[in-house]
Chain A
Amino acid sequence: KNEVEQSPQNLTAQEGEFITINCSYSVGISALHWLQQHPGGGIVSLFMLSSGKKKHGRLIATINIQEKHSSLHITASHPRDSAVYICAAQGGSEKLVFGKGTKLTVNP
């Protein structure tokens, strides 16, 4: 069983919809990372959080340490949000353990 599980694997939405991607982890962590991988392959770090909630533009990331669960929300989704979203748990060794990613497609 992977230490970091993401759901769903694939997600298709219409422009304007509210998107939620979930991430569950089984290890103790010092931080949880959300990454975005563009169709061209480049990877960008979106958030790093260890508690509570962070917001950047239309993106919101939340984490519940007790439940070992994090969510990434996208409000008013747009076709340019189409990408693979990857969560990664940073454990005691400080290494990142990655989920398999959620492929998001937003249709106009």
Chain B
Amino acid sequence: DAGVIQSPRHEVTEMGQEVTLRCKPISGHDYLFWYRQTMMRGLELLIYFNNNVPIDDSGMPEDRFSAKMPNASFSTLKIQPSEPRDSAVYFCASTLSLSGTQFFGPGTRLTVL
């Protein structure tokens, strides 16, 4: 398996623009997580899905952030409109079960100017 795939790897955009980050989990994994990593706050959980259904989105910072999982092999994290404080590395991870090891994607480094 290729592991968790994220795209793009780097994104530079201007404040106010819409940003869409993409993730393909490992085939067969029922859980998908979106994390954000910043120097100040470290890694934080934004949202996670089980069988394509959002289970906990309490970490989503505000209404500008939205996430979808239309099928078992694809998820998106959208920021609209983007702000400079959204600059961070966004990781997607997947796992077979909540009690199992999480496998992380390579991350998307987002810079909002």
Contact = CB atoms under 8 A, between A and B. Distances in A.
Interface residues of A, number: 22
A96 B45 contact: yes
B101 A98 contact: no
B91 A98 contact: no
A97 B45 CA distance: 8
A88 to B, nearest CB: 8
Contacts of B103: 45
Interface stretch (A17-25, A36-44, A62-70): A36-44
B42 A98 contact: yes
B14 interface: no
A16 B111 CA distance: 39
Contacts of B109: 41
A42 B45 contact: no
Contacts of B48: 95
Interface string B85-110: 00001010100001111111011010
B106 A42 contact: yes
Contacts of A45: 101-104
Contacts of B106: 41-42
A100 B42 contact: yes
A73 B111 CA distance: 35
Given A41-B89, A42-B104, A99 B42 contact: yes
Interface string A39-53: 001111100100000
Interface of B: 42-45, 48, 56, 59, 89, 91, 93, 98-104, 106-107, 109
Interface of A: 30-31, 33, 35, 41-45, 48, 86, 88, 90, 93-101
